[in-house]
Structures are given as structure tokens and as C-alpha cells.
Chains A and B, each alone.
Chain A
Amino acid sequence: MPLNTPSKPKLAVWKFASCDGCQLSLLDCEDALLAIADNIQIASFPEASRAVLRGPYEISLVEGSITSEHDAERIHKIRRLSKTLITIGACATSGGIQALKNFKDVNDFVNIVYAKPEYISSLKNSTPIADHVKVDFELRGCPINKDALVEVCNAYLNRRKPNIPTYSVCMECKRRGNICVMTSKGIPCLGPVTHAGCDAICPAYNRGCYSCFGPSEDPNVKALSNQFEKMGMSKDELIRLYRGINANAEEFKNESIFHEQK
């Protein structure tokens, strides 16, 4: 880089066990992508570029959950290279859908998928990044919302707090003018206990929320479960509803285990 060029802050994108969808959100910022690249040095983003600039990095975006010994070590190296570490998506923030294996014997899972299970090494649990290193901000969603991603990066680069509400999907649902699917149609909906951020799309499409964004701040999970039971939901259906995209999130995990053991 020429000496007289003011250096741009460096951004790195890292992948662990995931579907790639959250980092794709960055490339899905079609209107803003080139402007972002003008203001931030995209220093390491293998999905998009062969070029890699060495750290340290001003911001690291981390996608995916920790499912192997190797990854459990790799995340510490990334933390050391990163001034700000932001997790993006449900996998990185709660363990993701692959955390469904946490509720089963992992050896059974390996045997189901692989003919020669001895080649496979996988940790017993799929865990979020914050179980391993300090995380500066957790951006929720499966997938994350791309505008929220731009907002969070912008906030950290400008040393302000990101404007990401922690209330429930119900707030967004009311604001969008949706009719409540639970009260009007009797469709079970996790919206009351789910973190906002998707703009209540499922109720807007006549279906119940299945909690891509995980628990909201102080969710009243018990009250919602009582309501589901009153609506006639079976124990197995209730467990399956909490064991979805964010099965390993504390509040959902506890609630599904409570009903399983009941």
C-alpha cells in the first residue's frame, strides 16, 4: 500500500460450522457493497477473495458454531487478532441447528451418516462462540438481516452502540400491522419470546414464528408454553418447537428439557 494512503480499517470474515448464509448476507448488500469496500479494507474474506491481508483486524465477523477440537483452538487465534469480534447468526450465537445433536449421543449421529465413523472427529456438542472467547457483539438471526449487519459494523467503526432492538417479534408484528396468528387462527407462534430482527415475516405470511433469531431479552417462556398446552399442543410438538434453529439457547434448551422430563 502506498505510504501516503490513509489506512482503512481492516475487516475479516471467519467461518466455522455453518451454511455460509450469514456471510453471504454481506455479498447480498448489492447496493452498498462497493461503497462498503471503499471505506473498509476487506482484508480476509475467503468466500469472496483470494487475497488475504495479515491481521490484526479492526473487526472480525465470525459465522458458525464450534463442533471440533481444531475449531475450538482456531477461535482463540482469531480472538487474539481481532480488536472487535462480532458473531453473525444463530450458529455462532447459540450453536445453530446442528446443536440438535447436543440432545443425542453424537456417536449415533456419526453412525447414521457415515459408513466409516472412525474417520470422523466431532465434539459432543455444538457450541456458540461466546462459550469459548469473549464476544463483543452477537448479531442474531438465521440468517442475519443484512441491514443490521451494516449497522453493527458502522457502529463499531464509529465507536457508538449498535441500534439493534432486543424486544420480541410481537413488537415488529404489531408495527407491521399483522393480525396475530395465534389469537386469530390458533397457530402456535414463538414470536412472543423471540428476539426481533426479521420484521415478523412468518406471521406476515400466515404462519407462526419458529424463532430464527432465538430468545428475546427476558422471554416468558413458561407462560407461552402454558398457552400452547391450552391450545392442545402435545408434549412432543412442544419440544420440537423449542428444538429448532436455536435449540441450544439457554431459555429454549431449559424449556425443552423441562417438558421432556415432565
Chain B
Amino acid sequence: MSKSKTKIINVDYLARVEGEGSLYLKIKNDKVEDIKFKIFEPPRFFEAFLRERHYSEAPDITARICGICPIAYQMGAVHAMENALGVSLDDDLRDLRRLIYCGEWIESHVLHVYMLHAPDFLGYQDAIQMAKDHPDVVNDGLRLKKIGNEIVTLLGGREIHPINVKVGGFYKLPSKSDFHSLLENLRWARTAAHNMIKLTASLEFPKFEQDYEFVALRHPDEYPFNEGRLVSNRGLDIDVTDFEKHFEEEQVEHSTSLHCKLKERGKYKVGPLARYSLNFDKFSPEVQKAAKDAGLKEECYNPFKSILVRSVETLHAVNEAIRIIENYKEPKKPGIEINPKESVGYGCTEAPRGICYHRYNLDSNGLITDANIVPPTSQNQGSIESDLRELIPLIINLPDDEITWKCEQAIRNYDPCISCSCHFLKVTIDRG
């Protein structure tokens, strides 16, 4: 028997992800002995300082959890507050909320696909280096991302931490004519999104199907954004208000971010693959065909193909934005009247990276007495680690720097948003 051989691979600061994380691998005799996807982002205690704030402040405060997906937090907050206060919006205001979410999905997915993830598949350190060899690809990506940002800016006032979303509606409504130039750009974006799908379909994917429990929202009529029941491919089918009965957060020593688990079955996966696999039938025929032409089936269990699924979702978001704008009639009022009362409210929406859950308890003056927010990345930490555990034996004979890069790529499959995840659970480095 050969002498036992141990190697340690350490990535001190993961690049091309949002926030501060690292990876520690201990490999002994070609077997993974220890994996830690560590999060060392300093905690920011949002749930604590939301207490004693007015319900109307929650969208502006929670947006600051994440600069990449502020709309996700604003949508979670407004839906939870409206649930607490017993109001619901008319279809025309509801459509505008879907529209601003389309903008965030486009901006966030395109940023990840072109700037953060494609360089892994094509062997570049970053998109700027990639632009030297593939200028048209990077320029198309930048233009498409900008169109996502234009939607958010038009409806929200600015692309990062928009200011126009409020509990009960919006502060100000756009007029029909405000959308003219955007609509032109979105028609270009539709072609660009088809090209994005073709481009990402041409990438080389490792054979790496995993046995996931997918969790996503499911709505009777639509591919989900803001509403629906929480379902899984293993029989979960619950109302959003029952989230905390079925899921629990657990603090682990090696991370400042809490790990969220299904009480009955443990780890699960949220995000584009889960949404896609649980809601394929809700895509339009055009999007379904584009997905199938790109080689996808109706379910996708290969995390490396998340880049392709994000591209399919980008096409869906572009088409949905076009549909909403073409049908837009200015609502009579920008928002509805709200009266505070002692209550509890729940909201769960599909952030680009997966479900994001909010609960707020309010007193009779509308002040928050308790808040709970569960972001997507803390739910995916278990899957990220198990993917790495399965991947490493397949690549164990590669040189260390290639193992490192492949592991980074596997983490980036999740587009992890570490800034989000750590505001809730602190992951601490285990020095024991």
C-alpha cells in the first residue's frame, strides 16, 4: 500500500462572487476528508435593527442587505407587510411589480452569466480579459445587462437600491410614453437572449447530475416571481405562511451564515435549476422551444448547466417585460391606503438566486416587533458543499490549480450572494 498522502487546498478569497467567502479542502488518499465553504463576511444584524422600525421603512432598509438583488428584498418586504395588513394589489400594480423584478432578473442573470461565470467555462480570469478575444460577446452582455438596469431605473428611480417601491404600491407611476425607448431596447434584448441561450448551450458541461430536492414557488398561471405555493420534487406543497414549520436555520461553526434545512429531509436546493425544473410548463412555447433546442430537458439536475438555465430565464424575463409594457395602462392610483394593526405577515419571492423568505410581526402602531429573513444563499450552502464532495473524486488527478479552479466554478454555479447570506447567520472559522 502506498504511503498516505494528504493535500490541503485553500482558496482564501473566492473571486467573482458577491461577498466574502473562502474554501477549505482536505484530501487524504484521493478522498475528500473535509470541505468547508466558509463565509467570513462580517454580520450586519438586519433582523435586529428592523425591530422598532415602522413597517413602511422595511423596503428601504432590507434593500441594503444586497446591492445585487435589492428588488428581491423590497418585494419580500412589501408582500409580507401587505399580507400582515390584509391588503392586496390590483392586477395593474401587481404587473408593475413583476416588471421591476424582470429588470432585476435580467441584470443579475446577465451579470453572472457573462461577467462572473462564462470566464470559467472559456478559461479566462475575468470578463475584461475575455473581451479581448470575444469583444462582441462581452459587449452584447453589457448591453443586455444595461437593459435590465434600465427597467429597474425607470420604475425604481435608480438601478441599485431603488426608491419607488412601497408597501401598498409605488410612490409614482410611469406613463405609457415613458416606456417607448425601453420597449425598442427590449425587442433587441429578445434576440440577444436567444443568442445568449445558443452561446451558453455551446459551452462544455461536465457530466454531473445530482440527486437534488428542488424547492421553488409555483403559481397556477405564471412562472413564479412574487407569489405561489412552496413546492418540491419530493412532495412538499405548502403555503408560504407555513415556511417556518417545515424549514429551520442552523448555525454552524465554520460560517457566519446560517444553514437552512428542511426539517424532515435536510438539505435542498433553490434557484434557477429548482425553479426551472418545477415550473417548466409555465414557460411560453417560445421559451420552452429555445430550452429544448439548447439541449435541456424539462428538468435539469446538472448544476454546471445553471448558466444555460439562467439564459433561458433571461429570455423569459425579457418576454414578460415586453408583455407587461405592451399591455400597460396607467393605474388610477399609485398605491392603496393602509391602516396599521397588530399582525404577522409572510412573504416569499423568487430572487434571482432562489426563494427569499420574510416574516414580520407588527404592533398596533405598525412598528416591527420581530423579523425573520431567509436569503437564498444560506439555503444553498448544504448543496454547495455536497456538490464539492461529489465533484472532487472526479477531478482528483488534475493539478492542484485546476482542482481549485473547478471547485470555484462549482461554487459559482450557485451565483452565491454571500453579502446576503451573512446578514443572518454568522459563519465562524473553526480553529478547534
| Chain A positions near chain B (C-beta within 8 angstroms) | 15-25, 27-28, 30-31, 33-34, 37, 42, 46-51, 67-68, 71, 96-98, 100-101, 104, 108-110, 112-116, 119-122, 142-143, 198, 201-202, 204-207, 210, 212, 237, 240, 244-245
A30-B143, A97-B64 known; A207+B171 contact, CB < 8 A? yes
Contact assessment for A20 and B57 in the assembled complex, using a CB-CB cutoff below 8 Å: no
B68 contact from A20, A68, A98, Cβ within 8 A: A20
> How far is B166's CA from A128's CA once the two chains are assembled, in angstroms?
29
Shortest distance between the CB of B322 and any CB in chain A (Å) = 20
- Nearest CB in chain B to that of A187: its residue: B171
Chain A residues with CB under 8 Å of B341's CB are: none
B67 contacts A48, C-beta separation under 8 Å: no
| Shortest Cβ distance from B367 into A: residue | A236
C-alpha gap A245/B67 in the complex (Å): 14
Docked-complex contact A122 and B68, CB < 8 angstroms: no
In the assembled complex, B159 has its CB within 8 A of some CB on chain A: yes
CB pair B157–A48 under 8 Å, yes or no, is no
Pick from B14, B49, B256: contact of A101, CB under 8 Å? B49
| Residue contact B426 to A24, C-beta cutoff 8 Å | no
Chain B residue numbers with a CB within 8 Å of A67 are 42-44
Chain A min CB distance to B193 (Å): 16
- Taking chain B's interface residues, is the majority helix, strand, or loop, or is none over half, making it mixed? loop
Point out the residues of chain A lying under 8 angstroms from B19, CB to CB: 15, 20
Number of interface residues of B (CB under 8 A): 69
Contact B42 A122 (CB under 8 A): yes
Complex alpha-carbon distance, A100 and B60, angstroms: 14
CB neighbours of A24 from chain B (8 A): 18, 67-68, 160
Interface string of B164-193 (1 = CB under 8 A from A): 101000011000000000000000000000
A116 CA to B251 CA, complexed, in Å: 7
Given A17-B44, A113-B43, A113-B48, A34 and B146 contact (CB-CB distance below 8 Å): no
Give A142 to B161 CA distance when docked, in angstroms.
7
Chain B proximity of A98: nearest CB distance (Å)? 4
The reply to whether A115 and B251 form a contact with Cβ atoms under 8 Å apart is yes
Give every chain A residue within 8 A of B164 (Cβ-Cβ).
205
Cβ–Cβ contact A50 & B126, under 8 A? yes
Distance of A156 from chain B, by nearest CB (Å): 21
Residues of B within 8 A of A96 (CB): 64
A184 to chain B, nearest CB (A): 14
Decide if B158 is an interface residue (CB 8 Å cutoff).
yes
Chain A nearest CB, measured from B75 CB (Å): 16
Q: Which residues of A contact B258 (CB under 8 A)?
A: 114
Residue of B nearest to A245 (CB): B64
Instruction: Say if the beta carbon of B287 comes within 8 Å of chain A.
Output: no
Smallest CB separation, A85 vs chain B (Å): 19
Contact between B16 and A120, CB atoms less than 8 A apart: no
On whether the beta carbons of B253 and A49 are closer than 8 Å, the reply is no
Can you report 6 residue pairs joining A to B where beta carbons are below 8 Å apart? A15-B20, A19-B66, A20-B18, A27-B115, A100-B49, A205-B163
B257 shortest CB reach to chain A, Å = 11
Do residues B45 and A101 form an inter-chain contact, with CB atoms below 8 A?
Answer: yes
Task: Report the bound CA distance from A201 to B60 in whole Å.
Answer: 14
**7 A-B pairs with least C-beta separation:** A21-B67, A49-B126, A51-B125, A109-B48, A119-B428, A100-B49, A30-B146
CA distance A104 to B52 in the complex (A): 12
B15 and A50 within 8 A (CB): yes
Report yes or no: B163 in contact with A98, Cβ–Cβ below 8 A: no
B172 close to A206 (CB less than 8 A): yes
Q: A68 and B42: CB pair below 8 A?
A: yes
CB distance from B57 to the nearest CB of A (A): 7
B159 CB to nearest chain A CB (Å): 6
Complex Cα–Cα for A51 and B15 (A) = 9
The answer to whether residues A101 and B48 also contact, given A25-B160, A34-B128, A207-B171 and a CB cut-off of 8 A, is: yes
